[in-house]
Amino acid sequence: MSETVPPFEMALAVEPADIDRQNRVNNTVYVRWIQAIATAHWNATAPVPARDDIGWVVLRHEIDYKSPACLGDEIILRTWVGQATRLTFERFVQVLRQNDRKLLAQARTLWVPINPETAKPTRVPPEVRQRFSI
């Protein structure tokens, strides 16, 4: 994690629709949570022109499941950007149970910035990258 850019966090509650037949949060919900925290972090940190001019697509998700999340759990999503180049952002996410901060899952995702109008890769200016990563 960057020494100069603190992690971004948000809280949420596990909902009945998140639960699968094994009575735990379904793995597809973790992908939705990764998307939600990444979007919230971008919207909270990126300057307005960049939010309008840059969209994001995922190249790769890697998720390690450590312990199940269950109905009634309050969750903390925690994210930060690792290496940020002109054409890729490496994003890390931790899923923690709020009451004991137990790590439930962790993810590494590789994102590519795109021009929302053309859907083609675009560059992230250095001043925007600096808001997220060293």
Domains of the chain listed by start with CATH number: 8-132 (3.10.129.10)
Where are the alpha helices (H) located in 1-134, listed in sequence order? 27-45, 48-53, 126-132
pLDDT tens for 27-36 read 999 999 999 9
Tell me how far apart the alpha carbons of residues 104 and 121 are, in angstroms, rounded to a whole number.
33
pTM: 0.92
Banded model confidence at residue 4, pLDDT cuts 50, 70, 90: low
pLDDT tens for 45-97 read 999 999 999 999 999 999 999 999 999 999 999 999 999 888 899 999 999 99
